[in-house]
Structure 1
Amino acid sequence: MLIKIHRRKHMKKIIDIFLRSFMTGVAIAVGGTVYLSCGNKYLGAFLFGTGLFVILSFGFNLFTGKVGYAVEREPVYLGELGIIWLGNFAGAAVSAFLILQTRIAGIGDKAKELSDIKLSDGLLSIFILAFFCGILMFIAADGNKNIKNPVGQILAIFLPVVVFIISGFEHCIANMYYFTLSGSWSAKALGYMMIMTLGNAAGGMLIPLVKKGFIKAE
């Protein structure tokens, strides 16, 4: 009986993680859609932050915002990160499919241009660009959680997003949306997605790892 209850709780937790992750993919897709639809790249970069605002406001699960905490969590957390990644992918892909059924499906052409640039880049370049994006996404997630000032919380969300987009850094979840919207998936694209994911993960873990070496105030 106790085993069944434990399994039931475990399954509920997995479903909860996946649903929160799926909705994250949807939120990122909304951000990606407004970015692709906006003629001004600076305004588009700012409005993309709406997706992250929704994610952090509703307690959704973004892989690039959660992966940094792996350095201080139990090994089982790695399994949760896998579920989060898959949920993010599902939400982004389903959203892309739905957008392609609408009158704004033309943004897929711009997504194709972006995807072609990414897939023609070198793997080391992709990893480094993803690494810096990972740093920024951890700053956004952790800053929003720990900063008490409301203005600071908002800045922690939007500034890192604007910086990573204008800088051309690689965000694996956003690219899941762009690749699906543009029909760019292939064995090569999947390989690039893995490199982007690893880069985001390494960047997200940098600050938590370095902080372990800080001298704490007495």
Structure 2
Amino acid sequence: MQVLNGLGTTELMHIFISNRIGAVKPGSLGLPVPSYKAKVLDDAGRELPSNQIGHLAVKGSSGIRYWRRDDEQAKYVKHGFNYTGDLTYVDEYGFFWFVGRGDDIIKTSGYRVSTQEVEEILVKHPAISEVAVVGKPHPKLGQIVKAFVVLKPGFKPSVELERDIICFVKASMAPYKAPREIEFIHELPKTHTRKIRRKELAVMEKHGACSREG
């Protein structure tokens, strides 16, 4: 059985990008389906060339409408295209590739870093039980990559362990994606469905209210 990746939203009432039999690129979202148009745009709304990461914008027979919220309408719908909140890029063959949700992307030194990508490496470290990565505001770099780490039993926070974790990440991905700062905490804030509440971590970071180890 062949599994075909794709992407869709409730607002657009359909899968608007998909691989299809005879046109598959493993790992990609695929190509726009008939009657839908998709673009990758920069922050100013300009269409980007291939292999550059930007905002996914889609146009179809339906879309987002906000009731008495012109500000939200203008934010998510521009020139008939719906901004999905996803960051993607399109390759030279027209296939779209998912990078991450816009809220889960850190902008540091002009680079875009996926929090999920960094977390997937961090959890492979033998000392780490759970981890959440967020962007911490920085006056010169825009943001830096910061990791909140819950250690496994038998491990204790230390400067040496922090350095080891950072080196571990740098050995597996580009150095600019590695955390510049690590904070060891007892537990991560989660919803009742066990999803990590990254926005709460950002607030806790701002006010210095994390339940710190040590």
Measured against the shorter chain, the TM-score band is: under 0.3
TM score, norm. by length of structure 2: 0.22
Higher relative contact order (CA 8 A, sep 6+): 1
**Whose helix fraction is larger, Structure 1's or Structure 2's?**
1
**Whose strand fraction is larger, Structure 1's or Structure 2's?**
2
TM score, norm. by length of structure 1: 0.21
Q: Which of structures 1 and 2 has the bigger CA Rg?
A: 2
